[in-house]
Structure 1
Amino acid sequence: MSNEKPFDLVEIHNRLELLEGKLRHTIEKSCLNVVRQLENFQQLHSLIGDIPADLHGWPLSADVSLFLVRLVLQNRYSFIVEFGSGTSTYILLEALAKSSLRPSHASNSPIMLVYEHLSEYFQKTSILVEHCTSRKHCVLSLSPLESWSDATGNYFYYSKTDQIRTFATVLKRKRKFPLKKVLVLVDGPPGATGRWARYPALPIILDSLNGCRVSVDLVLDDTLRKDEQEVIAAWIDILKVHGFDYTLSTLPFEKGAALLSFSTFQ
């Protein structure tokens, strides 16, 4: 006598319907994302012109790229810091070039400081931005990861971050275009380098801007990941300890992103 359980055709049918529904939802979601990315890419193209690389599959998608361009066009940033180079570097430089054409931004000559820890990507980015109009305002640094720590733990983060304080000091002393608004893009290093890999960005920025009265817009990519969500929570704790006012905007992009805006005015 067989002990095998007989097939339950109703149960099999229900399971197949459930799988079909999940598959349909996944396909619809994927198609919708493709349409949105194409729309964002077209808008991006209309704002800054030709883009010499396919954004889909790069660390920075078309949606967050468009968001960054609009931030640059709307705000007179005097200083931009980018942790992790690539297509985003090109996009930011082209946005700066378009921004400088606006009458209200005519005297805008911001400094852009970019960090990249891998020689391969440093070379690729160097070639990518070689002919950008605003290239002369960009300092691209090959910055191997080095040990960094605070009360939360030990990390590996970009070296040469002392440059941030140096350039901030220069801008602070400028009368024509002083240090007032800062944009920080945190898109590196990769999560594979360790837990909370991007956490050091905010403490380093705060330390570098110590004594400066500025407004900061910090954009963090890949916030669909749990690690980045925990990093944001840790950053907010730091801002609260300093007594800085802040706003956090969750951006519904392909890989998730967040805008953390704060002022060092107390």
Structure 2
Amino acid sequence: MRSLRSLLRPLLVIGAVAGAAVLAVPVALGALGLIGWVDAAALVLLGALGGAVFVLALGLLLLRRTVNRLATSVSTVMDTHSRRVAETLGRDRLEAARSMDGVKERLTHLRDHSLPKLTREVTHAITVQGRNDYEQQVAWTELREHLGTPTFMPPLRGWAASPDVMRLLVREIDRRRPELVVECGSGSSSVWIGYALRRAGGGRLVAVEHDARYAELSRALVASHGLEDVVEVRTAPLTEFTSGGEEPEDGAEGAGGGPRQWYDTSVLADLEGIGLLFVDGPPEATGAQARYPAVPALLPHCSEDVVIILDDASRTDERALGDRWLAENPALRRTEEAAEKGAHVFTRS
């Protein structure tokens, strides 16, 4: 539009000057008396009309040229924009294709490698879990039938000992008929051991528990089965433990890097002639090799034919502390029993 205006402006000036000159001729002729005033007026009107027509035609011509240039410019811009859009879409399409190729490769790898491996691992885990569940159910059934227990018995597995370890304990009680059984920890296992001792016709169990509230719950559980004459639950808070007055070895400290914590040995000072020692506490969370002190603290109070059963022996800590027991007590021998959570049996040679 600006270019149209710039063209029209000088043309209008020229047209106005030329028109004025043309219109001045009839007026001059009229003034000189060469033509009449009516004829002069008619000539002026005709000249003005012709000038207007000329200017209009010229303006239309210029407008057409401007419109043509504008159309050409718009077409050029549209072509450029279309080309850029096409190039952008082409790049996006290429990137999308490459991305899809990557996805296909990952899916192929997942199908050919990851999924078969995961399937094998899941199948193995399910198989192992199924076998464990079956074996524990068999052990539970054998325990119930052997001990003739009531219908409602405290559950095993999880935090409690598994049925296969409890079956091992009952077998040793039947075989050796110990007068005193000591259990590090308390709970469901205390009731089952109590029934085993009652069936064996003698002996008693002292279960040691560091948590006062849990000890009360264990006593209530024992009482609900009428086993107070066979099972005693003692509360023994965790205190600093050193063997023979020596400091704990490096790497064997309790949780947080402090001294090892174990049951207050003063609570156990009166125990003598321990025939069966079941080590199932303190909990692992109380410190590294938390169950190690059981042998240095209680072995001097055990009978010569004592049997020591360590639960959770599949854990690294339990295996390490078992190795220490053997190194520090050459007379001890270890037998590994197949159990859900691992069980090591120690006897004197």
TM range (shorter): 0.7 to 0.9
Cα distance in 2 between the residues matched to 1:238 and 1:128: 37
After superposition, the CA RMSD in angstroms is 2.1
Cα distance in 2 between the residues matched to 1:251 and 1:86: 23
Find the counterpart in structure 2 of residue 147 from structure 1: 240
Cα deviation, residue 134, structure 1:
5.0
Cα deviation, residue 90, structure 1:
0.6
Cα distance in 1 between the residues matched to 2:339 and 2:333: 18
Find the counterpart in structure 1 of residue 110 from structure 2: 12
Find the counterpart in structure 1 of residue 213 from structure 2: 120
Find the counterpart in structure 2 of residue 171 from structure 1: none
User: Any gaps of 5 or more consecutive residues in structure 2?
Assistant: 1-93, 250-258
Q: Does 1:89 align with 2:183?
A: no
- The one-letter code sitting in structure 1 at the alignment partner of 2:110 is I
Cα distance in 2 between the residues matched to 1:11 and 1:125: 54
Q: Are the aligned partners of 2:186 and 2:218 in contact in 1 as well (CA < 8 Å)? A: yes
For residues 177-227 of structure 1, the C-alpha deviation after alignment (integer angstroms, 9 at most, x for no partner) is xx4x61001100101001010000000012435xxx621111111111111
72-81 or 125-134, which moves further after superposition?
125-134
**1:177-216 equivalent positions in 2, closer than 5 A:** 179=273, 182-209=275-302, 214-216=304-306
TM-score (normalizing by structure 2) = 0.63
Cα distance in 2 between the residues matched to 1:124 and 1:166: 24
Q: Are the aligned partners of 2:197 and 2:204 in contact in 1 as well (CA < 8 Å)? A: no
Structure 2 SS opposite 1:136: coil
30-39 or 134-143, which moves further after superposition?
134-143
* CA gap 1:207/1:155 in 2 versus in 1, 3 angstroms: farther
Select the structure with the greater relative contact order (CA < 8 A; seq sep ≥ 6).
Answer: 1
**1:216-227 equivalent positions in 2, closer than 5 A:** 216-227=306-317
Identity %: 27
Please state which structure has a larger fraction of its residues in helix. Answer: 2
For residues 70-113 of structure 1, the C-alpha deviation after alignment (integer angstroms, 9 at most, x for no partner) is 1111112122111100111111110001001xxxxxxx4x2422
For residues 11-41 of structure 1, the C-alpha deviation after alignment (integer angstroms, 9 at most, x for no partner) is 3222211111111111111111111111110
**1:40-55 equivalent positions in 2, closer than 5 A:** 40-48=139-147, 49-50=149-150, 52-55=153-156
User: Any gaps of 5 or more consecutive residues in structure 1?
Assistant: 101-107, 169-178
Structure 2 SS opposite 1:59: coil
For residues 146-189 of structure 1, the C-alpha deviation after alignment (integer angstroms, 9 at most, x for no partner) is 11113434311111x34544231xxxxxxxxxx4x610011001
Task: Choose which of 312, 319, 331 in structure 2 pairs with 1:229.
Answer: 319
Structure 1 SS opposite 2:129: helix
Find the counterpart in structure 1 of residue 70 from structure 2: none
Cα deviation, residue 131, structure 1:
5.0
Please state which structure has a larger fraction of its residues in strand. Answer: 1
